[in-house]
Amino acid sequence: MKALFLLYDHYVDWEISPLSYIFSVTNVEIETAALQEEVTHSGKFRIRVDRTLNECRVSDYDILVIPGGDPEPLLEEEALLNLIREFDQENKWIAAICGASTLLGKSSVLRNRLYSTSIDITEFPSCFDPVYQSKADTTVCENLITAEGSAYVEFAVEVGKQLNLFNDREDELETMLFFKNLLRG
């Protein structure tokens, strides 16, 4: 299995860190992509990505992961929106947390689907239909997995669950407890 993490300037790194860890311990191959060769995340670290968006072939991946951050500068980036559309057209998983749901809305893949987000959707009326906003921390609707930014652990576990990465329910719960710091030694 292979995952593509779509990174961009000022993305929120901790919203995808638990998921990247789950992928790494379950042998899911990870590649990173961005509009340019290097991005700076919200913690001010510069990250050199594996490839630019124009080098990505959707057929090479099983899931697209998009972290939260400030989506506004990306809303007119057709290469990015087309990549999201292509993942959806091929019915591949798309996992988006917090502000990344705005990109799903702008690319029209939220069409009449339930979604979760931390974004004030009234600020992006062309991206969201309020009728379909879920009150849940994480929402799975068809091939989309969305989450509020504060539910980054739940998001990671839900993605792992949908991809069948856990051995069983106990493995899933232990992972949740590990990230929530609830395991007692």
Share of the chain above pLDDT 70, in %: 98
User: Strand (E) positions, the chain?
Assistant: 2-6, 29-34, 38-40, 46-48, 51-52, 63-66, 93-97, 138-141, 144-147
Reply yes or no on whether the pLDDT at 167 is more than 60.
yes
d(CA 73, CA 75): 6
CA 77 to chain centre: 17
| Cα angle: 36, vertex 67, 22; to 5 degrees | 110
pTM of the predicted model as reported, rounded to 2 decimal places: 0.94
Tell me, what's the pLDDT at 183? 53
Confidence at 93, pLDDT banded by 50, 70, 90: very high
Reply yes or no on whether the pLDDT at 184 is more than 80.
no
> What mean pLDDT is predicted for residues 24-29?
94
d(CA 150, CA 135): 13
What are the pLDDT digits (tens) for 96-118?
Answer: 999 999 999 999 999 899 999 99
Tell me, what's the pLDDT at 161? 96
What are the pLDDT digits (tens) for 114-162?
Answer: 999 999 898 898 888 888 999 999 999 999 999 999 999 999 999 999 9
